[in-house]
Chains A and B, each alone.
Chain A
């Protein structure tokens, strides 16, 4: 048995817990988009109800991380692994909250027919979800290149957000009855833009985990 095998196993378990939580959050975001597009109220409610489980997972990760700090006095890479797990779990928890926000917007819009086909929002969501997936892969494999690749996409999502908001707001004068859904859809665009930001934060944490240096990938 290698020195500190027990500690190494615990670090591995911590990482696995976080990957499991990330998987659940990704699922919630996907479901929330499907619910929005299909105006599926039941699905939206399920996303909202499912958030408690993800919150509990975050608590479990935090508790385990603090226990490891208290018991094992981690230094250097071990310490970064734990501190990054704490930070990333908080980003992932925010991602799940965003899924809830999108689901709430779906409920707000209700069954009121969309004033036009919703095409660009799922496209933007696709880009953001790709960033989530890449940032989590980067975390899993501790790969800076994937982390950087993820962060590079943030600008494209930001630009798309700007364009979409302008477009959506321009519809209001001609479709005053659709004001509520246009506002809710604008919120959804903003939520998706935040997904990209959280992914970039995760990517930055991966760079810190591997190199010990804090950099801003969002510049």
Chain B
């Protein structure tokens, strides 16, 4: 009896290992440490981020998940005293290296924040602002990109007749999808989402979640969320952070049904945090 059980388990493991071997990684994080002055906020974590999948980062406030997220497109550079060590390998380059052109990097690794932050300009200009800045001037091309990115962000039908109205006239949920469209317009490969729907009502939240799942066909997505249901609904893999350490990183299904570490279970079941 027991031997049959063990055999079954090892077959399962073999299948899992085989699947992992065939998974392509868009980012490889190795021994990443992040400091704010003297304080170490991330303690040497290593993890591979899969291509065209959604990776959720969860953990209580101050666990280092947002710090980690921001380091992926060097947003921490803007914080005085912040520094990072270790490696985040993207297309054979270490993102943390001084030689990296941060502006170019952020085109490829875009970010959407917790609170929708459209520019106080028209919907159209919100999308075209960065495109123009990067040298694209032709109106027909800009028009095309505006439509394409608004379509992808599932916002086109709602705003196509008022593209030149202020973005601030949109609802919170629409504003957030506009911010996602703005990121999409830059044709990134990775999208970093920092609690993108925590400020939204349930319907807008559901729209943004559906959109994120749709977007993984074209992009690799890393999302920080405090909403356990959201992490379990939309992500493929989940990483649990605690006090700057990566405690557990596994398939979302495994994390939410049978996590290996007791602390993970206590956190996801709401026993602390």
Please choose the segment from A59-67, A74-82, A84-92 that sits at the chain B interface, where 4 or more of its residues have CB less than 8 A away: A74-82
**Is B272 a contact of A3 with CB atoms below 8 Å?**
yes
Task: Please name the residue on chain B nearest to A214 by beta carbon.
Answer: B8
**Is A75 a contact of B1 with CB atoms below 8 Å?**
no
Q: Which residues of B contact A75 (CB under 8 A)?
A: 228, 232, 256-257, 268-269
- CB contact under 8 A between A219 and B257, given known A76-B265, A77-B265, A77-B269: no
Q: Which residues of A contact B228 (CB under 8 A)?
A: 73, 75
Cα–Cα distance between A17 and B19 once the two chains are bound (Å): 43
A2 within 8 A of B: yes
**Is A212 a contact of B271 with CB atoms below 8 Å?**
no
Q: Which residues of B contact A78 (CB under 8 A)?
A: 269
Cα–Cα distance between A4 and B8 once the two chains are bound (Å): 36
Cα–Cα distance between A78 and B1 once the two chains are bound (Å): 28
Residues of B214-273 contacting chain A, CB below 8 A: 228-229, 232, 256-259, 265, 268-272
Residues of A167-219 contacting chain B, CB below 8 A: 211-213, 215-217, 219
**Is A217 a contact of B1 with CB atoms below 8 Å?**
yes
Q: Which residues of A contact B272 (CB under 8 A)?
A: 3
Q: Which residues of B contact A80 (CB under 8 A)?
A: 257-258
Q: Which residues of A contact B1 (CB under 8 A)?
A: 148, 151-152, 217, 219
Task: Please name the residue on chain B nearest to A3 by beta carbon.
Answer: B271
B133 within 8 A of A: no
**Is B271 a contact of A76 with CB atoms below 8 Å?**
no
Task: Please name the residue on chain B nearest to A76 by beta carbon.
Answer: B265
Q: Which residues of B contact A2 (CB under 8 A)?
A: 271
Q: Which residues of A contact B229 (CB under 8 A)?
A: 73
Q: Which residues of A contact B16 (CB under 8 A)?
A: none
Task: Please name the residue on chain B nearest to A79 by beta carbon.
Answer: B257
Task: Please name the residue on chain A nearest to B12 by beta carbon.
Answer: A213
**Is B259 a contact of A76 with CB atoms below 8 Å?**
yes
- CB contact under 8 A between A3 and B270, given known A75-B232, A76-B265, A213-B9: yes
**Is A219 a contact of B232 with CB atoms below 8 Å?**
no
**Is B258 a contact of A212 with CB atoms below 8 Å?**
yes
Q: How many A-B residue pairs have CB under 8 A?
A: 45
Cα–Cα distance between A212 and B260 once the two chains are bound (Å): 10
Per-position 1/0 for A100-120, Cβ under 8 A of B: 000000000000000000000
Chain B: minimal CB distance from A16 (Å) = 20
**Is B271 a contact of A4 with CB atoms below 8 Å?**
yes
- CB contact under 8 A between A76 and B269, given known A212-B257, A212-B258, A213-B9: yes
Residues of B1-33 contacting chain A, CB below 8 A: 1, 4-5, 8-9
Chain A: minimal CB distance from B16 (Å) = 14
Chain A: minimal CB distance from B253 (Å) = 11
Q: Which residues of A contact B269 (CB under 8 A)?
A: 4, 74-78
**Is B5 a contact of A76 with CB atoms below 8 Å?**
no
**Is A219 a contact of B4 with CB atoms below 8 Å?**
yes
Cα–Cα distance between A212 and B229 once the two chains are bound (Å): 20
**Is A76 a contact of B258 with CB atoms below 8 Å?**
yes
Q: Which residues of B contact A76 (CB under 8 A)?
A: 256-259, 265, 268-269
Chain A: minimal CB distance from B267 (Å) = 10
Cα–Cα distance between A79 and B269 once the two chains are bound (Å): 9
Q: Which residues of B contact A211 (CB under 8 A)?
A: 258
Cα–Cα distance between A212 and B253 once the two chains are bound (Å): 12
Q: Which residues of A contact B232 (CB under 8 A)?
A: 75
Q: Which residues of B contact A4 (CB under 8 A)?
A: 269-271
Task: Please name the residue on chain B nearest to A72 by beta carbon.
Answer: B270
Chain A: minimal CB distance from B273 (Å) = 8
Cα–Cα distance between A75 and B228 once the two chains are bound (Å): 9
* Most chain B beta-carbon contacts within 10 A, residue among A2, A3, A75, A79: A75
Cα–Cα distance between A213 and B228 once the two chains are bound (Å): 23
Cα–Cα distance between A2 and B272 once the two chains are bound (Å): 9
Task: Please name the residue on chain B nearest to A2 by beta carbon.
Answer: B271
Q: Which residues of A contact B265 (CB under 8 A)?
A: 76-77
Pairs across A and B, CB under 8 Å, 16 listed: A2-B271, A3-B271, A73-B228, A76-B259, A77-B265, A78-B269, A79-B257, A80-B258, A148-B1, A152-B1, A212-B258, A213-B9, A213-B258, A215-B5, A217-B1, A219-B4
Given A79-B257, A212-B258, A216-B4, 7 other A-B residues pairs in contact with their CB atoms under 8 A: A3-B270, A3-B272, A4-B270, A75-B256, A76-B265, A76-B268, A76-B269
Nearest 3 pairs of A and B residues by beta carbon: A212-B258, A75-B256, A76-B265
